[in-house]
Amino acid sequence: MATNRPDPGEFLELAQRMLRELFGDPRSDDQP
């Protein structure tokens, strides 16, 4: 592993999940 940072796709998904959890977005896939 030459790079110590995650893939752009994974990073974007993680960022979206964190934002949804922080703001309680009802459009989240975890909640109906």
CB 19 within 8 A of CB 25: yes
CB 20 within 8 A of CB 27: yes
* Confidence (pLDDT) at 8: 83
Where b means 16+ CB within 10 Å and e means fewer, 1-32 reads eeeeeeeeeeeeeeeeeeebeeeeeeeeeeee
* Confidence (pLDDT) at 31: 53
pTM of the model: 0.48
What is the per-residue pLDDT across 1-32, written as a single tens digit (0 to 9) for each? Answer: 456 776 888 889 999 999 989 988 666 555 55
